[in-house]
C-alpha cells in the first residue's frame, strides 16, 4: 500500500479553483517528482498534504488524502499537529523564512527532537549535531551555536533540511528546495538530500521545475498543468516515451548542448492563469496535437502504456504521441 | 567618430574589454574600518562580431557588474571598453549618448524593466524620445508595428499596460525596446531567469532568430549552464571578479578546476545517465578578503603551495582557449 495516497483532490480559494482532481501515490522509499510551470499547483498540492490550506484561505472541496491509512482531510488539527513535522516534514523554498533569525541554529534543530521525540536537551543536541554532520555541514558543533545570519544561503538550507530530518519523518516534501541558491550549491544539496533519503528509505515528494533534477533523482513523476494532472509515469517513460503532449514539449524545452542551433522553440502561448482557464483540456490552446474534442471535453486521466495521461489525442491514437518524441 | 575608429582598426571583435576593474568601497563605521572589494578585477575579453559570448558564474562573481560596465551604465575604476574600436572613455558625453543607440541591454526582470503606468506604445517610443529621434505620425505607427511584430507580439497589444501581459510577453516588450534604435550589440542579463521553461525556450528561440535576421552580436550573462552551452559560441567563466577560463566553443572541455565543477554541476536531463555531481568543498571566500594566490585554491583538488602564493594568469592553452590555472586538468 502506498504511504501517501492523494485521490481526486480539488481545492478552492475563494471563487478560484486552483486544483482540480489531483490523484497520485507515493510508495515507501519512493522519490516522486512533481513538475510543472508556475501556477500548475505544485506547491498547493504540498500545502494540502501538510494541512496548511487554511493559512492561505483555501479549502479542500473534494477528494481524499490518506497517509499511512490516516485520512488527513478529516483529521482534527491537534492530531494533525502531532503528524506534521514528525511523520511528514516540509522543506520550503526559502531557507531564510524557515529559520528564526534571533534563535541559535542549534536550538532550532534541537527543538524538533525535544518536541516530537521527547528527547532531553543533551540528547537532542547530540542528535542535531549528528544530523548536521550527515548533511556535511563543516564544523557542525560550532555551527550549532551560530545564528542564521552567520551562515551562507546553502548552509541555511542544510540547516532547514536538518530540522526536517530531526524528527525522523517517513515522508519529506521538498518544495523547490534549491531555487534560491547558486548552481554548484544546488547540485550539492540535491545530491546530499537524495543520498540521505535513499539511505534511510524515506519517501520524498520533490517539487521542482528543473527536469534535470527530476531525471537524476526521481523514480516516478507527476506532471501538473494548470491545476490538473497531465501525466503520471515512471521516470524512464517520462523522458523516453512521454504520453502527454505537454510532457513531450516540456522536455523539448530543456536546452541541450548537443542540440542543433535554432531548434529550441518553446511551447507557443503562455501558461494560463487560474482566473482564466481554457475549457476542456487546459493545454489545448498550446497543443500541436489538439483535436476538435479537446476544447469541449475534459480528458480523464486514463491508463496509457505503463502510466496515466489525461489526453484525448493520446487515447484516440495509441502510439501517435510518443512517435513525436 | 566610431566609424572613423573602425576604419583604422579593422577587427573581428565588435567589443573589446581590457583590464576592466570596478572597485566598491564600504565606508568604515563606529566598529569597522573602511574596506574595499573589486567586483570586477582586471577583466579582459573580446566579443566577436555576430557571435554569442556567454558569461557564467555564481552570484557575486561580477557578471552583472561586468554587463553594466561594458555598456558604461556604471563607470569603471580602471580599464577600457572598446566598441567598434572606439574607447568609450574617450568619447564626449554627446558622442557616448549617440553610440548608445548601437548598444542596448535586455534586463533580467521584465516586471521592473517597464514602467507599470506606461502603455506598450509609450514604453516603445521612449528610446526615440531619449535619443531625440523625431518621428512623423505615420512613421511612428509603422515603426511600432514593425517592432512589436518583430518580437512576435500582436500589434493589438500596443495600447495594453504591462500588467495585462504575461511574463514572456513582457520580456518580448523588453527586447522590442532594446531593438528600437537598431542596435548592433545587445547585452542580455539573464533574460530568461524569471520565466517558466516553456517560455524561456520561446524567448531564446526569438533571440536566435533576431540575431540571424538583424546580424546582432550578443553578450549573454547567465548562471544556467545548459542554456549557455546551447546558446553561446564562446563561454567566459568568472569567479570572484576575475575571468578564470574562456572556452572557445560550447563543447570545449573546461580545464580550470572551478570551471569544470561549475560545468559538471548541472543535472543532465536523462534518467539513463545518472551520475553523482562533484561536490565542492568549502564556500566562496569573502571578496573583501581575497587570498594572495588563486582565489579558488582553498577549494581546489589540484592546489599546490604555488597556488596559495601566486595568482595564475590567464594564458592560452589552445587557440582561443584561455585558462588561469597553475595545474589545469
**Per-residue confidence in pLDDT tens, chain A, 325 aa:** 799 999 999 999 999 999 999 999 999 999 999 999 888 999 999 999 999 999 999 999 999 999 999 999 999 999 999 999 999 999 988 877 889 999 999 999 999 999 999 999 999 999 999 999 999 888 899 999 999 999 888 889 999 999 999 999 999 999 988 877 888 888 888 998 999 999 999 999 999 988 999 999 999 999 999 999 999 999 999 999 999 999 999 999 998 877 888 888 889 988 898 988 999 999 999 999 999 999 999 999 999 888 999 999 987 765 444 444 3
Nearest to A250 among B197, B226, B283 (CB): B197
Q: Do B205 and A265 touch (CB under 8 A)?
A: yes
Residue A214 parent element (H or E):
helix A211-217
pLDDT of B11 over the 80 cut: no
pLDDT in tens, B180-208: 999 999 999 999 988 888 999 999 999 99
| Confidence (pLDDT) at B4 | 41
Element (H, E) at B99: helix B93-99
In 3D space, the residue among A106, A193, A96, A90 whose CA is nearest the CA of residue A153 turns out to be A96
Q: Rounded distance, CA A40 to CA A37, Å?
A: 6
Sort out which chain A residues have CB atoms less than 8 A from B58's CB and list them: 182-185
**Residue numbers in A near B201 (CB within 8 A):** 252-253, 255, 264-267
Question: What is the pLDDT at residue A183?
Answer: 82
Give the pLDDT confidence of B66-106 residue by residue, as tens digits. Answer: 999 999 999 999 999 999 999 999 999 999 999 999 999 99
Residues B260-265, mean pLDDT to the nearest whole number = 88
- Is pLDDT above 90 for B276? no
- Beta-strand ranges (E) seen in chain A are 4-13, 16-26, 31-35, 58-67, 70-71, 88-91, 171-175, 203-208, 220-225, 228-234, 302-304, 307-309
Q: Give the Å distances, CA to CA, from B128 to A17, A71, A248, B88, B258.
A: 44, 63, 42, 22, 44
Question: What is the reported pLDDT for B26?
Answer: 80
* DSSP code per residue over A304-323: ETTEEE--HHHHHSTTHHHH
A253 with B198: Cβ contact below 8 A: yes
Closest CA to B237 of B60, B45, B39, B56: B56
Interface contact B229, partner A, CB < 8 A: yes
Q: Most B CBs within 10 Å: which of A264, A267, A273, as the mutation test of the B interface?
A: A264
Among residues B61, B58, B21, the alpha carbon closest in space to that of B287 is found at B61
Residues of B in contact with A253 (CB under 8 A): 197-198, 200-201
What are the start-end ranges of the H helices in B180-321?
197-214, 225-231, 257-264, 305-309
CA distance B302 to chain A (A): 18
ipTM of the complex: 0.84
Is A15 an 8 Å CB contact of chain B? no
What's the pLDDT at B253? 92
Where residue B284 falls among pLDDT bands split at 50, 70, 90? confident
Q: Give B279's pLDDT tier (boundaries 50, 70, 90).
A: confident
Strand, helix or coil at B269?
coil
Contact call for residues A271 and A226 (beta carbons, < 8 A) = yes
* CA A166 to mean position of chain CA atoms: 20
Selecting from A182, A213, A262 the residue whose C-beta is nearest the C-beta of B59 gives: A182
Which of B166, B250, B268 lies at the smallest CB-CB distance from A216?
B268
Amino acid at each position: 500500500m502506498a504511504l501517501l495516497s492523494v485521490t481526486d483532490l480539488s481545492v478552492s480559494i475563494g471563487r478560484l479553483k486552483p486544483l482540480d482532481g489531483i490523484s497520485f501515490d507515493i510508495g515507501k522509499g519512493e522519490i516522486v517528482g512533481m513538475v510543472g510551470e508556475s501556477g500548475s499547483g505544485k506547491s498547493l498540492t504540498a500545502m494540502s498534504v501538510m494541512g496548511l490550506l487554511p493559512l492561505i484561505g483555501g479549502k479542500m472541496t473534494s477528494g481524499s488524502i490518506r497517509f499511512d491509512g490516516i485520512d488527513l482531510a478529516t483529521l482534527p488539527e491537534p492530531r494533525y499537529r502531532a503528524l506534521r513535522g514528525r511523520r511528514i516534514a516540509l522543506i520550503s523554498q526559502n531557507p531564510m523564512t524557515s529559520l528564526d533569525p534571533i534563535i541559535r541554529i542549534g536550538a532550532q534543530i534541537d527543538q524538533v527532537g525535544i518536541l516530537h521525540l521527547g528527547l532531553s536537551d543533551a540528547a537532542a543536541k547530540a542528535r542535531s549535531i549528528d544530523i548536521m554532520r550527515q548533511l556535511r555541514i563543516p564544523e557542525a558543533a560550532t555551527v550549532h551555536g551560530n545564528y542564521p545570519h552567520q551562515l551562507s544561503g546553502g548552509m541555511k538550507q542544510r540547516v532547514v533540511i536538518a530540522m526536517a530530518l530531526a524528527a525522523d519523518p517517513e515522508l519529506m516534501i521538498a518544495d523547490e528546495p534549491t531555487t534560491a541558491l547558486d548552481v554548484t550549491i544546488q547540485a550539492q544539496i540535491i545530491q546530499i538530500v537524495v543520498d540521505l533519503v535513499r539511505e534511510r528509505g524515506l519517501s520524498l515528494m520533490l517539487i521542482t521545475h528543473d527536469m534535470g533534477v527530476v531525471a537524476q533523482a526521481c523514480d516516478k513523476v507527476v506532471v501538473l498543468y494548470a491545476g490538473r494532472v497531465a501525466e503520471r509515469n515512471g521516470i524512464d517513460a517520462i523522458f523516453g516515451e512521454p504520453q502527454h503532449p505537454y510532457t513531450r514539449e516540456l522536455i523539448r524545452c530543456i536546452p541541450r548542448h548537443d542540440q542543433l542551433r535554432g531548434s529550441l522553440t518553446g511551447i507557443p502561448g503562455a501558461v494560463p492563469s487560474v482566473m482564466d482557464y481554457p475549457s476542456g483540456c487546459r493545454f489545448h490552446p498550446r497543443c500541436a496535437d489538439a483535436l476538435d474534442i479537446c476544447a469541449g471535453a475534459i480528458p480523464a486521466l486514463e491508463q496509457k502504456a505503463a502510466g496515466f495521461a489525461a489526453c484525448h489525442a493520446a487515447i484516440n491514437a495509441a502510439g501517435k504521441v510518443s512517435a513525436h518524441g | 567618430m566610431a566609424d572613423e575608429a573602425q576604419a583604422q582598426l579593422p577587427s573581428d571583435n565588435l567589443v573589446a574589454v581590457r583590464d576592466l576593474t570596478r572597485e566598491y568601497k564600504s565606508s568604515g563605521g563606529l566598529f569597522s574600518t573602511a574596506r574595499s572589494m573589486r567586483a570586477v578585477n582586471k577583466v579582459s575579453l573580446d566579443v566577436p562580431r555576430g557571435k554569442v559570448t556567454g558569461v557564467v558564474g555564481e552570484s557575486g562573481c561580477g557578471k552583472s557588474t561586468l554587463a553594466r560596465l561594458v555598456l558604461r551604465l556604471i563607470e569603471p575604476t580602471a580599464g577600457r571598453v572598446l566598441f567598434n574600436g572606439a574607447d568609450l572613455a574617450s568619447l564626449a558625453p554627446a558622442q557616448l549618448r549617440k553610440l548608445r543607440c548601437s548598444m542596448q541591454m535586455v534586463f533580467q526582470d521584465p516586471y521592473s524593466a517597464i514602467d507599470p503606468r506606461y502603455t506598450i506604445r509609450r514604453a516603445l517610443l521612449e528610446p526615440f524620445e531619449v535619443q531625440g529621434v523625431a518621428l512623423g505620425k505615420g512613421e511612428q505607427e509603422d515603426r511600432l508595428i514593425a517592432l512589436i511584430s518583430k518580437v512576435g507580439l500582436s500589434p493589438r497589444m500596443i495600447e495594453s499596460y504591462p500588467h495585462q501581459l504575461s511574463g514572456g510577453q513582457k520580456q518580448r516588450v523588453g527586447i522590442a525596446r532594446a531593438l528600437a534604435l537598431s542596435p548592433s550589440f545587445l547585452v542580455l542579463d539573464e533574460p530568461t531567469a524569471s520565466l517558466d521553461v516553456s517560455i524561456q525556450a520561446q524567448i531564446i528561440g526569438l533571440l536566435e532568430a533576431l540575431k540571424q535576421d538583424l546580424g546582432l552580436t550578443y553578450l549573454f550573462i547567465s548562471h544556467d549552464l545548459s542554456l549557455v552551452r546551447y546558446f553561446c559560441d564562446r563561454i567566459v567563466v568568472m569567479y570572484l571578479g576575475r575571468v578564470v577560463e574562456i572556452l572557445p566553443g560550447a563543447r570545449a572541455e573546461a580545464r580550470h578546476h572551478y570551471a569544470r565543477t561549475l560545468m559538471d554541476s548541472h543535472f543532465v536531463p536523462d534518467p539513463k545517465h545518472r551520475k553523482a555531481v562533484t561536490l565542492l568543498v568549502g564556500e566562496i571566500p569573502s571578496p573583501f578578503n581575497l587570498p594572495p594566490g588563486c582565489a579558488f585554491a582553498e577549494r581546489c583538488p589540484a592546489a599546490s603551495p604555488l597556488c596559495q602564493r601566486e595568482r595564475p594568469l590567464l594564458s592560452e592553452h589552445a587557440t582561443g582557449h584561455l585558462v588561469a590555472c597553475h595545474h589545469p586538468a
